[in-house]
Amino acid sequence: MGAPHRVLLLVFPDFQLLDATGPADVFASVDEHLSPSVRPAYRLEAVSPAGGLVRSSTGLELAARPLPEPAEVAGCTLLVVGGHGVQAAMQQGGIARWLAQAAPLAARCASVCTGAFLLAQAGLLERKPVVTHWRYAELLQRLFPGLEVLPDALFVRDDKFYSSAGVTAGMDLCLSLVEEDHGRELSLRVARGLVMYLRRPGGQRQFSAELLAQQAPAGGQMEQLVKWLHERLAQVVGVEEMAAHLAMSSRTLHRHCQVEMGMTPAKLLLQLRLEKASQLLDNGESSLKRVAQHTGFGSEYNLRRAFVQALGVTPGEYRQRFCR
Q: Dump pLDDT digits (tens) for 127-167.
A: 999 999 988 999 999 999 999 998 777 888 899 999 998 87
Q: Could you tell me which residues are beta bridge partners of residue 157?
A: 162
Residues annotated as catalytic are 113
**Cα diameter, the chain:** 69
Share of the chain above pLDDT 90, in %: 64
Report residue 7's pLDDT band, with 50, 70 and 90 as the boundaries: very high
Quick one: which of 143, 80, 137 has its CA closest to 112? Answer: 80
In 3-state terms the chain splits into helix, strand, coil percentages (rounded to 5) of 50, 15, 35
Report residue 22's pLDDT band, with 50, 70 and 90 as the boundaries: very high
Q: Do 15 and 51 meet the contact criterion of CB atoms below 8 Å apart?
A: no
Report residue 2's pLDDT band, with 50, 70 and 90 as the boundaries: confident
Cα 224 to chain centroid, rounded:
28
Mean pLDDT of 209-231: 74
Distance between CA 128 and CA 149 in Å, rounded? Answer: 8
Report residue 192's pLDDT band, with 50, 70 and 90 as the boundaries: confident
Q: Do 193 and 175 meet the contact criterion of CB atoms below 8 Å apart?
A: no
Q: pLDDT value at position 202?
A: 41
pLDDT digits (tens, 9 = 90+) for 50-90: 999 999 999 999 999 999 999 999 999 999 999 999 999 99
Q: How many CA atoms lie within 13 A of 27 on its CB side?
A: 24
Question: What are the residue boundaries of the structural domains of the chain, listed by start?
Answer: 5-193, 209-322
In CATH terms, the fold of domain 5-193 is Rossmann fold (3.40.50)
**Taking the domain 209-322, which CATH number applies?**
1.10.10.60
